[in-house]
Every structure is written in structure tokens, then in C-alpha cells.
Amino acid sequence: MSETPKDLKTFSEFWPFYLGEHADPTNRVLHFVGSSFALVWLGLAIYWRNPWWLFAALVNGYAFAWIGHFFIEKNRPATFTYPLKSFMGDWVMFFYILTGQIGKELKRLNIEPPAKK
């Protein structure tokens, strides 16, 4: 598993590292699905005024993401070192995927998908 750098002070410094840890398209899809489910659970928590659904949102979001890291990318989630920046990165990446701009952002940062085995 790759080592997470410990000196990324700003989100601008963190973002290229974060996106590089999500180079595999399957990992990004898993993150997107988990974040989408998390939004549904958040909506249900608000609608039903039941904060327990927020727990479902967290579990769902992180379960999909961690499956992507541990089994697809085989790297350590940056959440363990940078919890807030990783949370922000999830939603920035979600936005890029949702708007169809993720490819352009990957290209801008020179991030290539891993070679097929």
C-alpha cells in the first residue's frame, strides 16, 4: 500500500495526491455510488427527522470507498491521515464525475489509470 504524505497543508496541495489515489476508474465509480447513497440517506434523515439515518449515510459512503481502496487500488484511504480534506475531496470528485469533467481533471493533473494486469 502506498504511503500518505504528511505535509499537505492546503486543499490545493492535497487534491492532486487525492485524485492520484483514485486513478482506477472502478474505485471512482465505487466512491460515486457510495456518495450517491449517502445523499439519499441524508435526504431521508431530513425528511423523517431521524438522525440515525446519518449513520447509514456515513457507513454507506465509507464502505464503498474503502472497498475501492483496499481491493481495487490497494492503497490506504487518505481519510486516515487527512479526514477533512478527504471528505472535501470526495465531494469535489463527485462533482467532477457528475458533470462529466473528471477526465479533463485527470488529464490536467497527468493522472493515468493503472495498467491492466
Assess whether pLDDT exceeds 60 at residue 100.
yes
- Do 31 and 68 meet the contact criterion of CB atoms below 8 Å apart? yes
Nearest to 4 by CA among 65, 95, 86: 86
- Provide φ and ψ at 110, rounded to 5°: 55, 45
Condensed to tens digits (0 to 9), the pLDDT of residues 18-35 reads 999 999 999 999 999 999
Domain ranges of the chain: 25-108
H or E stretch covering 46: helix 25-48
- Do 30 and 39 meet the contact criterion of CB atoms below 8 Å apart? no
pLDDT at residue number 115: 85
b or e along 71-96 (b: 16 or more beta carbons within 10 Å of the residue's beta carbon)? Answer: ebbebbbbbeebeebbeebbeebbeb
Condensed to tens digits (0 to 9), the pLDDT of residues 55-82 reads 999 999 999 999 999 999 999 999 999 9
Q: Which three cell numbers stand for residue 30?
A: 465505487
